[in-house]
Each structure stands twice: as C-alpha cells, then as structure tokens.
Amino acid sequence: MSLPYLASLALFSIGLYCILVKRDLFKVIYGICLMEFSINLFLVSLGFVTGGEVPISPTGTIVVDPLPQAMVLTAIVIEFATTVFLISVAIRLFKQYEDTDISKMRRLRG
Amino acid sequence: MEVLVHHYAPLVAIFLPILSSFFIPIIGRFHSKLGAYFATIILLITMGTSVMLLPIVLDCECLHLIYPWAEGINLQFEIYADALSVCMLLLTSFLCLLAAVYSIHYMAQKEGGARYYSLFLLLSGSMMGVFLSGNLLQFFMFLELTTISCFLLILHYQTTAALKSAYKYFIMIHLGALCLLTAIGTIYVNVGELSMASLGKLLSNVNGEWLTAAMALTFVGFGIESAVVPLHVWLPDAHSNAPCPVSAILSGLMVKIGIYGLIRFFYGIYGFPYAWGSTIIILGALTAFIGVICALVQTDAKRLIAYHTVSQLGYMIMAFGTGTTLGLAACLTHLANHTFFKALLFFVVGAVIYKTGTKDMDRLGGLRKYMPVTFICGLVASMAIAGIPPLNGFFSKGMTTQAVFEVSPVMSSIAIIVGVMTLLSFTKLLYMIFWREKSLETDKRMSMKRRIPASMKVPMIALATCCVGFGLFAHQYLEKIISPIINGLNLEGELYLPSIFMPSPLTSLSYVGIVFAGVVWLKRQRIIAIMSHKPFSALHHCFKEELGIDAAYSRLAKSVVSVFERGRSIMSGHLRDYVAYLAALLFVLFLYIALLRGFQWTF
Amino acid sequence: MILILLIIIPLLAAILNVVIGKSSKKARCAVSMASTLVLIILASKVFKTTIGGDIITYEIGNWKPPIGINLVADSLSALMVLLISCIGFLCILYSISYMRPHRGVPAYDSLLMFSITGMIGTVLTGDLFNMFVFLEVMFIAAYPLVGFFGGVEEMEASFKYVVLSTIASVMFLLGIGLVYSATGTLNMAHIAEITGARGGGLLDFALILLLIGLGLVSAIVPLHVWLPDAHPAAPTPISALLSGVTVKVGLYGMIRIIYTMFGFQAVPIGMIIIVLGVATIIIGAGFALVQTDIKRFLAYSTISQVGYITLALGIGTQSGIEGAVFHILNHALMKSLLFLTVGCVIYKIGTRDMSKMGGLLKQMPLEAAAFLVGGLAIAGIPPLNGFFSKLLIYLACFEAGYLIPLAIAIFVSLLTLAYYLRAFWMIFLGKNNIDLKKGRVPLSMLIPVIVLAIACLLIGVLPDIGLSITERISEQILARWMYIEKVLGGAIA
Amino acid sequence: MDLLMGFLFIVIIASAIAAVELKDLLAAALALGACGFFIGVVFFLMMAPDLAIVQFVVETLTLFVLVIAITRTHRRSARSEPVRIRAVLGVIVICIFLLFSFFVIPLMTEFGSPDQRVSQHYIDRGIEETGSENLVTSVLLDYRAYDTLGEIIVLFVSVLAVSLILREKPKGGG
C-alpha cells in the first residue's frame, strides 16, 4: 500500500496547480506551503516501518526510521523561515502596488 | 652575434612593440608628441631586427624556435621564420615605420594620441606575431590580436560611420577567424599536432573528408580576411573610415595576412587543391571585377581606393588559384607591390585631407599647384596600380595575367579588362583631385596655407621610390627575394617576367590599355557627361550600393535580431509562465526517462 | 579541521557584523575583509594540498561518514572555495565606496557574509541533505540582498526569485527523498558506492529532480527566468557575486551529483544536459542582444555562458570536464569584472539604461579598457582567458562528435562578440549626452576591477595557469573510487 | 489504522483544495492551517510525535503571520487565470502526478519497509553513543548537528531578512 506516497504527491500537485493558476500573492504562498507539506509527508512516510515503534527509547528492534524525521524537522524550520520572508515581501509588494494580483506585477520582462 | 640574432631577433620583433604599447599611455602624459617619437623608435628597432634576419633566411635556412607555453593542451610557443615570413616581417616593419612617421603630424591635432600609438604598436607587434607563428593556434591568436587593435584603430574618430564600420569589421573578421579556428580544431582533433613544420609532412598523405572540410573552412576564413567577393563588405567601410595611416596599414598589410595565410596553409600544410583551382580563379576574377566596378562610381577618394584594394586582392587570389610556380610568384610580387602603391595612395589622400579637410572628390580640384610633391607621388602610385610600365605594378600584373592565361585564358581577359578599368578610375581620381580647374570648397577649419610637413612627405617619397625602384629592378628583385621564398616553400620552377621590350600578346594589350586611357583623358569631359545619363546613373546607383550585397548582410543581421526581439515574449514577467516552464521541464524529463528506461527496472 | 574553519570564519564574521550593527560601518567592513582574507589564505592552503591529488575530509562530531556529516574538499571544492573567497573579498572591498549611501543598513554586510557561508558550506559538504541546508542558507541570504533597495522592481524580482527557488528546493528535497528511498543513506560517497556504476530506476528520477533543483541555481533554460530579474535588482557588488560565483555553486553541485555521486556512465541524461545547454547558450545570447538595461544584459550573458559550461558537462569526457571547470573559473573572473566595471559606470552616471549612455571613453578610459577586456574574454577572443576555456569546450564537443552543438556554440560566440561590442559602443563610444556626477571613481572600486582585468589577461597569456589546474581537477572528478575510498575510509556501515 | 489514515488523507486533500479555491484569503489560510494540522496528526500516526509537535507549532506560527499579513492587505483573493489556461495547466499538473504515481512510486520500496542502511546504526547504537533516549533528537543534535546549525542560521538570517525588507525608508539605487 503506497497511499501516503500518493496522498503526498496529490498534495504536491495541488500546490503546483495553485501556484500556476492563482494570481493572488497569498495564494501563491499557500501553494508553496502545500508543496512543502507534501514533501514533509513524503519524507516521513519514507521512514515509516509497519509495526515499528516510536524512536524514543525503543524496546524492540523494529523502530521507525529516525533519520527522515530529523530531516523533516530541519526542513520544516527552513520552510517556515522562507515562508515568513515571502510573506514580508508580499506585504511590501502590496504596499507598492495596492493590489495582490501577481499578474499586474510585470515590470521586469523581456 | 649571429646566435643572438637567431634566438632573440624574432622575439624582439614580436614582443618589443607589444610590450611597449603598454607604456605609451604613461609616456604620453608628459608630452603629446613623445608617444609618437617613442613608437617610431620602437618600430625602427623592430625593422632593424628584421633586416638582420633577412640574410639568414634568404640562404634558405629556416629559424625554428620552440619555447614552452601551454603544456595543458600540448601547445608550444613556436617561431618559424623562413624567407616568406621574414620578407613579410620586413614589409610590415617598413610600412609601420612609415605610417608612424606619417602619423606624427597627421594625428597630432586629434585627441586620444596615446591610445592611437599604443594600439598602433600593438597592431604592428601582433602582425609580426602572425608572420612568425610556427603553430596554427598561435597564428590564430595573433590574428585575433590584430583584429582587436585594428577594430579600435578604425573607430578612432568615433564618428557614427567609423563606429559602424569598425563594428562590421570586427564581426566579419571574427566570423572568418571562427571558421579558421574550426579548421584548426579539425586538424587538431584528427592529427593531434599544430606545429606548421610537422603538419605539412603529416597531412601530405592524409585523405579524409575532414581534411576537405578543414580546407574549405580555411579558405572561407582567409577569404573574409582578404575580402573575397561576396565576403568583402567590411573592407570598403573599414578602410575608408579609419584614419589615413591606419587605412594604409589595413590595405597594405592587414588584408595581406589573408593572402599570406592562404599561401601558408595551402602550400605549406594542406598541399594545393588543384581541383579547386578554377573555382578560386573565378572567385578572384569576380572579386577583381566587382571591386573595380564599384570603385569606378565612388566620389569618396578613400572609398575609391578601398574598392581598388578589393580589386587588387582579386588579382592575388587569381594568381594564387593557378597553383603554379609562376602564379605564386605573381601573387607574392603583387602582394608586396600592392603594399607600396596602396599605402602611398592612402598617404596621398591623407595629405589632401590634411590640407583641405575633405575626401569628397566632388569638392576638390586643382590641387597640383598647391601640393606638387603629393601630386607627383599620387601620379606614381596611380600609374603603378594601373600597371603602366616601368613601374612595379606592371610587372606583377603582367605575371598574374600570364599565370592565369596559362591555366584559363578566358579569365586572363577579365584581368586585362579590370586593368583597363583601374586605369580609368585612377584617371578620374587624379583628374578630380589634382588636375581640373575648380574653386575649392575647403573645410573652413582647414587653411590652404597649411603646409604638408616633412614627416608626411618623407614616407610618401620613400614609397614612391619603392614603386619606381621595384619596377626598374624587377628582375633582380625576383631573383634575390622571390626565388628564395618560392624555394623555401619547396616549389621548383621557372620564373617568367614580362618585359616591356619582349613582344607578347599580354604586354601589347597593356599598351592598348594605355592608349585607351589616353583617349579617355582627352575626351574626359564628354565621358563624364555620358556617365551622368539616365541609364548610366541607374547602373551607377546599383554599383554604388554594391549590387545589394551589403544590404543582404544587414538584412540577415536584422532578421537574427528580430527573431530574438520577438522571442522576448517568453520572458513575460508573469510568474505563472515561469512556474509553468519549470513544471513542463519536469514533465518532459520524466517522460523522457520513463520512455527511455521502459519498465525494465534494474534497481 | 581547516575545513570546518572555512565555514566557521565567515559565519562568525556574519554574526559579528550583526552584533556591531549600526555602531560602525568601518568595523563591519574590516571584519568582513579580514575574514575573507583569512579565508583566502586557508583556501589556498587547502587548494595546494588537494591539487596534488589528495582529498581532505573532516568528520563533524567524529562520526564516521555514513553515520554523521562530513566535509570533503577535493580540488574542485577547493577551487570553488578559493573563487568564492577571492571574489567575495573583492566585492566587499568594492562595497565600501559603492554602498556608502546605504551605510545605515547594517544587514548588508552580514547578509553578504552569510551568503558566502552558505556557498562555502554547499561546496564543502559531503552529505546530500546538508547540501540542501546550505543551499537554503545561501538562498535565504541572497533573497533580501536582491531586494535590498526595496523598490518596486527589486521586490518583484525578489518575490519571483523566492517562489521559483523554493519550488526548486522542494524538488531537490523530493529528489533527496527518492535517493534515500533507493539507497538508505544520505552521504554522497556512500550513495556513490552503493549505486556503483549502475544507475537506473528510481535514481534516474531522483537525478532529474536534483538537477532541476540545481539547474535553477545555475540558471539553465528554462529555469533561468529568475536570473535576469534578480541579478540586476541586487546592488552591483552583489550582482557580481551572484553572477560570478553563486550560479557556479549550482554547477558545482551538478558536477558532484552527476560525476561523483551517480557516475556519468550510469546516467542517461548526457543528451538532456547537452540539449538544455545548447538552449541556454542560444537564449541567453539572443536575449542579451536586445537588452538596453546594462545589468540585465550582463545577466543574460551569464545565462549564455552557463550554457557553455552545461554543454561541456553533458559531454562527459575528461576534456569536457576540463573545459567546464576552466570556464567556471574564467567566467567567475570575467563576469565579476564586468559587473564591477559597470558598477563604476552606474556610480558615475546614475543610470542603468544603455541608450542614455555614450561617449564615456574619454572620461573613463580605465573602465572602458576593463569592459573591453571582460567582454572580449567572454566572447572567447585571444589572448584573454575565455578563449582557452571555450576552445577546450569546442574540442571536447568535436572529439565526442557533437557537431551540431559545436556549430551552435561557435556561432553564438560570434553573437557574444556582437552584443558585447554593441554594449561597448552604447556605453563608451559615440556622443556623450549625459551629465556625469562630480568626483572620481574611488580607488576601492577601481582596485577590484584592475585586479580582475589583470587576472583575465594573465590567464589568457599564460593559459597553463588554468590548464594545469583543470587537468588535475578533471582527473580527480573522474576518479570516483578514490573519492569514495577517501571519504568512507574503508569503514562502511 | 489504514482506514484512519485514509480518512485523514481525504480530509487533508479536501482542506488543501479548500485552501486553493476559497475566495476569502483568511478562510483559505484557515483551511491551510487545517491541512497542516491534519498532516501533523498523520505524523503522529506515523510514529513521529516530535515532528507532529513541531508541525503544530510551526503551523500555528505560520497561520499567525499569515493572518497579520492578510489583515494588513486585501482579504479578498485576486482573480484566477481564465478557464482555458487553467485547463491546460491542470492537465500538465495531472500528467506530472500520473507520471509520478505510475513510474516513480512502483519503484520505491514498499511503504512501511524502508531500507534502513544507515539508520539501523542509529537505532542499534544511538542511545548508547549519544546518551539521548530520543533517537530523533540524537540524530538532530548529535549525529547530524551540523544540519541543525544550518537550520539555525537560516532562521537567524530570515529574521535579519524580514527586518531588512520591512524597514521603514528604503532608498533607491542601482
């Protein structure tokens, strides 16, 4: 059963779709958040062992993989930092354009 | 002493001018003319070294020096000096020296003097480098260095026309250089060797498609450099917009690098492709013909002379294309002779510009009274280029015609027709500038009282002397200089020299030309009247526009630019598009991998 | 030990800069410059060791490689560190005068040091996930620098940059996940050992994802879209750093992943990389031809040159790698030179629009010469450094029989010459129709320009300086097993 | 548990779609928060309690920042792309999804039985080598402490970056 993989990929696709078709600054940020969620979910699913224990003072030998969890922990924090930065840029852009429509922010082209 | 000359003279000839070019901006700060004198002295020393080298190589001894350079790609710094190289070296240093002397006053009133002399030395040093290179890549590198310095010299006045022509010059010449580089790369990849000395032997028994490709690319590369029609469009612009001493160098030496390269590569390395001979001759004839036709209709004196360079290069290409010993001798002789009279012509026009401030022949006239020395020099040069005996041009043109006649009689008639037209066009030049009575519309800034200084007269007189001297002593010249060169290229054969006293169909034809010129001269008013008739003026326009060749090039360039101009819309500035590119790339690459690997998973 | 110092020193300098804050601009500059100077010394020491064929490793926390994270410096990493610290030093020196009007913004200096930290961390790490982390450090420091001036365009560029590179890093992370799923490890040498020379299956897809992540950093078409916005928006010294070395970090990562981690033979993507490289060459050059904003123009030129490097990487022969590494080195010098030169021009006339410039040759002869040196070097004209690296790339194409890419690469180098001459014309030649700001260009801005110009000329005249280095580096890159053995040291879990 | 997870995934995807499609940005932000929250729950079910907690905390913080940002700007979302473009892009996205699910996922190790080549070491010796009962912590703070250093740098720099971006009077320049 690879349902978690599929679910995370679905989430990934929804996030990508959101960035592609939404013109709102914040919707773009949401899309990015969704993609990040999906990757986190994907990585955690990678480390899951059926019937495994929580990797905190395990008693048996079947334990879920702690490495992906550690990776995801790092990744979550990094993603948080990026998102906050992105939001601050969005606020700034809104102040300059008085609008959140990304399709109007096309000064740089060609 | 001999050892010193052997080892260091070539290095001095190359690097003394190049290195001292970096000091001129510093020296030029102290006094404006100091840079000019410094450059003159450096070039004098350089000329001394080439004079010292001459006796060594004329005994058919080659200097081959190798220094370590770029071990990473098996490249050594090689100096290869045979008679051909050293004669070119001598020619280069001689003309550069004269041009430097000429520039002392000619360029004095213009700003940017330090830059000018610095580039001038760089140019002369890198030309020496080209002629002394014993290795293809090194040859290429020096060739590019000449291009850079020429580019900067052409744009010296920074007028829009000068900038445009410099731009065109660099792009076209670089295109040629890239063709050459590809040819060199082909050789390197297939043979793994770039030294000229050993390549000749290595390639003599090779027969491959790649060799043909390399030869074709080499021909195109040098064809651009030596302005073979239809690759000549850069030349008239560049030569007419550069400062006059630079034009002299460009026409006298730079285009000869192409001819030199053709001889070096085709005789020294590939072996002459006899199968292509007639094509090359036809191209040469076309070049000669189109050059002279376009020259006929010019009113800009420098442009007229520049078109004649194209035409004379056509002669050299024709002579080269015969592939015979006589043809090669004719090519080399004409190369040297053309240097003398073409440089002289540019100096003469330079003097006219110096005196009157214009090069537009329509506005000039009657200058023979005001500048007799210049007029006589101009007369000598015009007669030389038109091939009137006993000046030097007569002999080399005669040899060319004879060499072509032996291979393809039809084409030799074109050579004769072109000769007649050359005569016609220089009759026009002399008439319009010096002879006819016309009130001058001189530039107001210029004063007719301004005298031509000795520093400008001396180079002109020296070159005029050369034109006469090499005409009078043509036999000795052929024997002492050209024969060793030909022998150095491992070609044996009889050299034929046309003589005014020897009755032959060709010499008599040149008399017909002279008579024709006389008729033209007598009936000049009437001819000019006829020329301005309507059917002629349409033709006139057509030739002036170079039969649309130039326009075709600019259309091509514009279409390239417009493709990208239109393509800019893919950078729409729309974030959606950018993310879509990313997604599409992901999709395509995944699909590619999926299709490539199928379902046979190995891991 | 020396390796961890290479990361700690810029990090400490960055933190120190934050602590100093607004109190003293001079102290901030001094700290940055001192730290980069130390970096240069250390890096050259590492470089000297590794160029002899040695590989230096450092195990953080004394955990053996597959268990813990380790730092690895082979000669390529050492070269990259050296480049980063040298260009970084010059950019900081340049910033002293250039950023004088913004001295009240202390974050600039520390962000610059942070991005240097991120870059050095990326090139020194031996762990795939750690590479992601340090790429993020590099990014997060670069984003605000791109938006430093806070204007509309800067913010727009910054936003697009962040969105695109976040998507790319998400893909990179997904790639790491797939690699982890296939091999159960994150250490690059360990992955290399496990995959051996076989590729295939999941690893192919993982490779694609990793390449998309790194391709965005190095601006390969069609992932280049952020670069022409972001590089011009940044302050000029930062543009020089971004174009000079940051994009090269992406290329470094590609070399590491393709050659060291998977092994080129195992990878079915040589063709893909060549196609992308050729597209990058054409699009970068073509769009540069029609620009009027001078920095945007240089940014497109960067894209085009990245295409050359990518093309060379796709060939996969030793001479291809040699050409790529040499071009990385050369392009870092040339492009920083050009950006810094153009910075002098902008400093003096206060506009980036080339159509408003003209005739500056008389007032700024030194800058004109430097621009010409840089432009001709990029166009691959001897005797400047770009010629030899391009020649190596051409020869590599030729030997491998890729004739169409070769023809395109050669033709585009003509186009490169055309657009640099056009820019030279528009900036320095013709009529002068703009008011110059009074005052000379300060020496602290001229010195980096002169140093870089001399470096370009020197490598061009004596190409052996670069050729001997790149030959060793390419040998080392191809000797995968030596890397694996050195890192894992026989003790494989 | 499979059933529970299946249900959770449906909820997650539903809330993700809501976050994408809702016109009200604040409501969409809440939907996003819900999505993150349920992912945290999934983490919990996948035996990653630390992660779940961090996810909750970070999600709350993100939501907080988002809400502040939205109150400072528009609340109503800007229009989406026109339907035709949406259809084209949707097809691309679906294709990527299908490629992934048909080509990539079958290649991966079966869910629930990963290759623990390196992690086995952490599981076997982690407690004795690091002295930490929590293996994730031991990986994070000991075996891979260097990653954590990088993570802290990122966090630190982002604070610096946000303060730079949101500073009051930026000056223009070249």
Query: Average pLDDT, whole number, for chain B?
Result: 86
pLDDT at C61: 85
Question: What interface predicted TM-score (ipTM) does this complex get?
Answer: 0.95
Q: pLDDT digits over B215-227, tens only?
A: 999 999 999 999 9
Q: pLDDT digits over B539-549, tens only?
A: 777 777 677 78
Nearest neighbour of B587 by CB, restricted to D81, D85, D95: D95
Interface contact flag, D74 A10, Cβ < 8 Å: no
Q: pLDDT digits over C289-323, tens only?
A: 999 999 999 999 999 999 999 999 999 899 999 99
Interface contact flag, C177 A43, Cβ < 8 Å: yes
More confident residue, C207 or C433: C207
B458 at A interface, C-beta within 8 A: no
- Give the DSSP letter string of C203-215: HHHHHHHHHHHHH
3-state secondary structure of A24: strand
**Pick from C89, C58, C54, C86: nearest CA to C72:** C58
What is the rounded distance in angstroms from the CA atom of residue C422 to the CA atom of residue C428?
10
pLDDT at C25: 82
Give me the residues of A, 46-105, that contact C with CB < 8 A: 46, 67-68, 71, 74-75, 78-79, 81-82, 85-86, 89-90, 92-93, 96-97, 102, 105
3-state secondary structure of B493: coil
Backbone angles phi, psi at C293, to 5 degrees: -75, 125
Tokens of D25: 């940005």
What is the rounded distance in angstroms from the CA atom of residue B338 to the CA atom of residue B313?
9
* C130 contact partners, CB below 8 Å, separation of at least 6: C69, C121, C186, D144, D146, D147, D150
A7 beta partners: none
Q: pLDDT digits over B163-186, tens only?
A: 999 999 999 999 999 999 999 999
3-state secondary structure of C293: strand
Q: pLDDT digits over B275-313, tens only?
A: 898 999 999 999 999 999 888 888 889 999 999 999 999
Average pLDDT over residues B241-246: 93
**Pick from B39, B79, B40, B45: nearest CA to B62:** B79
Closest-CA distance, C344 to chain B, in angstroms, reads 21
Q: What is the residue type of D109?
A: T
pLDDT band at B1 (very low <50, low <70, confident <90, very high): low
DSSP alpha helix (H) spans, B408-453: 409-430
**Cβ atoms of residues B460 and B374 within 8 Å:** yes
What is the rounded distance in angstroms from the CA atom of residue B260 to the CA atom of residue B87?
11
Angle at B61 between CA B57 and CA B65, to 5 degrees: 90
Interface contact flag, B581 C223, Cβ < 8 Å: yes
- For CA atoms B274, B278, B284, B287, give the dihedral sign: negative
Nearest neighbour of C159 by CB, restricted to A74, A82, A93: A93
| Res. C103: pLDDT tops 80 | no
B592 at C interface, C-beta within 8 A: yes
pLDDT at B495: 63
Domains in chain A (CATH in brackets) are 2-104 (1.10.287.3510)
Find the helix or strand (DSSP H, E) in which C71 lies: strand C70-73
* B142 contact partners, CB below 8 Å, separation of at least 6: B126, B127, B129, B130, B133
Between strands B63-70 and C56-59, the pairing is unpaired
Q: Which of B110-114, C65-69, D108-112 has the lowest mean pLDDT?
A: B110-114
CA-CA-CA-CA dihedral for B359, B362, B368, B374, to nearest 10: 20
pLDDT at B600: 47
What is the rounded distance in angstroms from the CA atom of residue C448 to the CA atom of residue C336?
9
Give me the residues of B, 217-276, that contact C with CB < 8 A: none
What is the rounded distance in angstroms from the CA atom of residue C364 to the CA atom of residue C343?
12
Average pLDDT over residues B232-247: 92
Chain A residue at shortest CA distance from B568: A110
Between strands B75-81 and B63-70, the pairing is antiparallel
B191 at C interface, C-beta within 8 A: no
**Distances from the Cα of B60 to the Cα of B325, B333, B486, angstroms:** 17, 18, 10
Average pLDDT over residues C414-431: 92
What is the rounded distance in angstroms from the CA atom of residue C395 to the CA atom of residue D144?
44
3-state secondary structure of B360: strand
Nearest neighbour of C130 by CB, restricted to D142, D147, D153: D147
The share of chain C scoring above pLDDT 90, in percent, equals: 73
Find the helix or strand (DSSP H, E) in which C236 lies: helix C236-241
Between strands C70-73 and C56-59, the pairing is antiparallel
Question: What size, in residues, is chain A?
Answer: 110
**First and final C-alpha spacing in chain D:** 59
B22 at C interface, C-beta within 8 A: no
Residue from C63, C128, C162 to probe the interface with A (highest A Cβ count within 10 Å): C162
Task: Go through B109-136 and write b for each residue having 16 or more CB atoms within 10 A of its CB, e for each that does not.
Answer: eeebbbbbbbbbbbbbbbbbbbbbbbbb
DSSP alpha helix (H) spans, B357-391: 372-386
Average pLDDT over residues C7-14: 95
**Pick from C335, C302, C459, C333: nearest CA to C392:** C459
Average pLDDT over residues B347-375: 87
Chain C residue at shortest CA distance from A81: C140
Q: pLDDT digits over D50-90, tens only?
A: 999 999 999 999 999 999 999 988 888 888 888 998 999 99
Closest-CA distance, C213 to chain A, in angstroms, reads 14
Residue in the block written with tokens 């002293």: C96
Neighbour-count burial of B160, counting CB atoms closer than 10 A to its CB (0-12 exposed, 13-18 middle, 19+ buried): exposed
A28 at B interface, C-beta within 8 A: yes
- Give the DSSP letter string of D106-144: GGSPPTB----TTHHHHHHHHHHHH--SBHHHHIIIIIT
Chain A residue at shortest CA distance from D53: A73
Q: pLDDT digits over D145-165, tens only?
A: 999 999 999 999 999 999 998
**Cβ atoms of residues C158 and C233 within 8 Å:** yes
**Distances from the Cα of D23 to the Cα of B450, C365, D20, D27, D76, angstroms:** 85, 59, 9, 8, 6
Give long-range contacts, CB 8 A cutoff, 24+ apart: B273-279.
B273/B215, B274/B323, B276/B215, B276/B219, B276/B321, B277/B321, B277/B322, B277/B323, B277/B407, B278/B321, B278/B407, B278/B408, B279/B321
| Res. C491: pLDDT tops 60 | no
- Give the DSSP letter string of B32-90: TTHHHHHHHHHHHHHHHHHHHHHHHHHTT--EEEEEEEEGGGTEEEEEEE-HHHHHHHH
More confident residue, B516 or B307: B307
Chain C residues whose CB is inside 8 A of the B140 CB are: 382
Nearest neighbour of B591 by CB, restricted to D89, D99, D107: D99
Q: pLDDT digits over C374-402, tens only?
A: 999 999 998 899 999 999 999 999 999 99
Cis amide leading into C222 (omega within 30): yes
Angle at B372 between CA B367 and CA B373, to 5 degrees: 125
Backbone angles phi, psi at C59, to 5 degrees: -95, 115
Nearest neighbour of C147 by CB, restricted to A79, A81, A89: A89
DSSP alpha helix (H) spans, C352-442: 365-378, 385-400, 403-428
Tokens of B32: 């404006």
What is the rounded distance in angstroms from the CA atom of residue C418 to the CA atom of residue C412?
9
Tokens of B428: 């026009």
Cis amide leading into A55 (omega within 30): no
Chain A residues whose CB is inside 8 A of the B574 CB are: 102-103, 106, 109
Task: Quote helix, strand, coil % in chain D, to nearest 5.
Answer: 75, 5, 20
Interface contact flag, B587 D92, Cβ < 8 Å: yes
Tokens of B531: 């020329």
Chain C residues whose CB is inside 8 A of the B571 CB are: 225, 228, 287
Chain D residues whose CB is inside 8 A of the C236 CB are: 174
pLDDT band at B533 (very low <50, low <70, confident <90, very high): low
What is the rounded distance in angstroms from the CA atom of residue C348 to the CA atom of residue C438?
8
Cis amide leading into B230 (omega within 30): yes
**Distances from the Cα of D169 to the Cα of A98, C143, C148, C149, angstroms:** 18, 19, 12, 10
Give me the residues of B, 50-89, that contact C with CB < 8 A: 69-73, 75
C-D Cβ pairs (cutoff 8 Å, strict): 133
pLDDT at B603: 35
Backbone angles phi, psi at B432, to 5 degrees: -70, -35
In angstroms, how far is CA C258 from the centroid of its own chain? 18
Chain B residues whose CB is inside 8 A of the A107 CB are: 573
**Distances from the Cα of C325 to the Cα of B288, C245, C465, angstroms:** 48, 13, 13
Q: pLDDT digits over C201-213, tens only?
A: 788 889 999 999 9
Question: What size, in residues, is chain B?
Answer: 603
What is the rounded distance in angstroms from the CA atom of residue B484 to the CA atom of residue B471?
19
What is the rounded distance in angstroms from the CA atom of residue B409 to the CA atom of residue B431?
33
| Res. C490: pLDDT tops 60 | no
pLDDT at C250: 95
pLDDT at B602: 39
B354 beta partners: none
| Res. C493: pLDDT tops 60 | no
| Res. A70: pLDDT tops 60 | yes
